[in-house]
Amino acid sequence: KASISPADATNKDVTWTSSDEKIAKVDANGKVIAVGAGKVTITVTTKDGGFKATCEVIVKDDNGTTNPIENIVEKVENPNGKNEVVIKNPSNEIRLEIKDIESIKAGNGYFEIKNGENTIVLPFSLIDKDLLKEGSSIIFEMKANEDATIMAGIKGVKKVFEFNLFVKTGDNLVKIHNFKNGVATVTLKLTDEDLKGLNRGNLTVFYYNEETKTFEQMETTINGNEVTFKTSHFSKFIIAEKVNNENGVTLPATGGNNPIYLIIIGMIIVGAGAFMLLNKKKKEENK
C-alpha cells in the first residue's frame, strides 16, 4: 500500500503499473499477483503531480530460484563418452539440471551443452563426487548480459559472461567455484556488432575476480567470430583487447571505446576550437 504525503493532500489517487506482466501483475489497489519467475519493478504514480515511487519484486519458482529450469537431463546415455545436451530455448540466460547422479559418479564422460551457437564442454571430473548424495542433482547456469560497472573504460565486448555450477541436495545448494579435476571448454559465437571497433587479433578472455575486482587472462583461441577458452573454475568472464603493464602482466586494454574517454576528447576539441575562435577575434580587433 502506498502512503501519500502530505496527509491532507486533496487528491490521493494513484495508478499502479508493472514493468513486466509476464512476471507479476498489479491491480488498482496495489496488490501484486505473481505470474512467472523473475524480477519486476512495480511503479506507483500520483495523479496529482505525477510523482513516482518504485519497488523491485522478485518472484521465485518452486525451486527457490528466479529462473525456472526448462532443461532437465533425467538419464545420462553415455557415461563414458560424449553426452550432447541441446538447450530447448536458447537465450542469454539458461539453466540445466542433471539428475542422473549415479552415471556421473561411475563414469568418466562429459556433457557438450549447446546454447544456440555457444558450446560448453563439461567433463564429469569437474564435480567433486563426494558432494553427490542420494537425491542430489547438478545445476548449470549460463548468463550473458551487459554490465556497465565491470566493463567501464575497457576496450572489449560489452557483455559479461557468467557461468555457475551447483550441486543441489534437498534444500541445500552448494556452489562449485574451483573444479575438482580438469577444465571446462567454452566456445562463444559473437556477432559482428559485438566485435565492432575491436582488434580481433588482440582479443583474449579474462576472468573477473569479484572479490579483488581484478582480471586474470585465460587460455584463449580466436577463430573468426568464435572465441574459445579453457577454465578450471566458473565465475564471470569478459572478452577484451589485451595490453601488458610495466610488470609484464596482461590486462584488459582501456581507452578507445570508452564513452567517458570520448567525452573528454570531445571537450578538449571543443575547447581548442573556442580558443582558436577567440584568438582570431582578438587579432581582428587589434588590426
How many Cα neighbours within 13 Å face the side chain of 223? 7
- Which domains does the chain show, CATH number per domain? 1-68 (2.60.40.1080), 71-252 (2.60.220)
Task: Return the closest-CA partner of residue 31 out of 63, 53, 52, 57.
Answer: 57
CB of 191 closer than 8 Å to CB of 228: no
Strands 219-223, 172-176: parallel, antiparallel or unpaired by DSSP? Answer: unpaired
* Phi-psi group of 219: left, alpha or beta (phi > 0 → left; psi -120 to 50 → alpha; rest → beta): beta
Any bridge partners for residue 159, and if so which?
A: 146
Q: What is the DSSP string of 164-218?
A: EEEEEETTEEEEE-B-SSS-EEEEEE--TTTTTT--GGGEEEEEEETTTTEEEE-
Output DSSP code: residue 2.
Answer: -
SS3 287: coil
Q: Write the CB contacts of 238 (distance below 8 Å, at least 6 apart in sequence).
A: 150, 151, 154, 156, 157, 160, 161, 205, 206, 208, 215, 252
SS3 21: coil
Task: Return the closest-CA partner of residue 188 out of 224, 234, 140.
Answer: 224
Per-residue pLDDT of the chain (287 residues; tens, 9 = 90+): 555 555 556 666 889 999 888 778 888 888 888 877 777 788 888 887 777 787 878 776 555 554 556 799 999 999 999 999 999 899 999 999 999 999 999 999 999 999 999 999 999 999 999 999 999 999 999 999 988 899 999 999 999 999 999 999 998 999 999 999 999 999 999 999 999 999 999 999 999 999 999 999 999 999 999 999 999 999 999 999 999 999 899 999 997 444 434 333 344 334 444 444 444 444 455 55
SS3 94: strand
